[in-house]
């Protein structure tokens, strides 16, 4: 299986992915956890470079994704379930919220992706997510309330278009994790 988790920072993606990994492994499955941007050369570059124009940033995220997709395919061919923290919808949501044309973003990603078995949007109010992120002390350049509101709206629109499962992530971790495990059982 290839399961993608999307959502703004602080939505609980990492926690839920770890819980789902434990559940799948308890059932005898082999699991790889991965994330975007990756820790490969392109992913590292785009993560630490703040002075890119929006087009260059979108292209670099997509280049990183193209390389990542090949790795995901390899793992799946080796019998692993792959749990991914962010994939192409992140580029669509974040870059379109910043004013980029979503049609162009879809176009440049079209050859760089495979279709996940399921994508789960961890939906959360941006004010709650910012509180969670600030408690961790991991604020990034993307953590601005007005911007995150636009990102959330974009994510919800994308989720509707692509038929993502939407999970209310503004609940306790156990409840959210159980809902995600139930969704994964249905694949």
Strands 2-6 vs 30-35: parallel, antiparallel or unpaired: unpaired
pLDDT digits (tens, 9 = 90+) for 103-114: 999 999 999 999
Sheet holding 165-168, edge to edge: 30-35, 80-85, 2-6, 118-123, 165-168
d(C-alpha 19, C-alpha 177), whole Å: 7
Domains of the chain (ranges, CATH numbers): 2-185 (3.40.50.300)
Contact status, residue 63 vs residue 77, Cβ threshold 8 Å: no
pLDDT digits (tens, 9 = 90+) for 42-60: 999 998 988 899 999 999 9
d(C-alpha 91, C-alpha 76), whole Å: 23
d(C-alpha 85, C-alpha 160), whole Å: 19
pLDDT digits (tens, 9 = 90+) for 138-177: 555 556 789 999 999 999 999 999 999 999 999 999 999 9
d(C-alpha 95, C-alpha 57), whole Å: 9
């Amino acid at each position: 299986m290839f399961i993608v988790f999307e959502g703004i920072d602080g939505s609980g993606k990492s926690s839920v992915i770890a819980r789902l990994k434990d559940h799948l492994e308890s059932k005898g499955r082999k699991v790889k956890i991965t994330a975007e941007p990756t820790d490969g050369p392109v992913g590292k570059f785009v993560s630490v470079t703040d002075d890119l124009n929006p087009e260059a940033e979108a292209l670099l995220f997509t280049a990183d994704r193209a390389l990542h997709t090949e790795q995901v395919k390899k793992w799946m061919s080796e019998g692993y379930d792959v749990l991914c923290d962010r994939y192409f919808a992140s580029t669509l949501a974040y870059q379109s919220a910043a004013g980029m044309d979503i049609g162009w973003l879809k176009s440049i990603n079209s050859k760089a992706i495979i279709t996940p078995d399921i994508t789960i949007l961890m939906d959360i109010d941006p004010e709650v997510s910012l509180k969670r992120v600030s408690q961790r002390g991991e604020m990034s350049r993307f953590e601005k309330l007005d911007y995150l509101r636009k990102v959330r709206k974009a994510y919800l629109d994308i989720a509707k278009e692509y038929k993502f499962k939407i999970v209310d992530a503004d609940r306790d971790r156990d409840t959210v994790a159980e809902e995600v495990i139930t969704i994964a059982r249905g694949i």
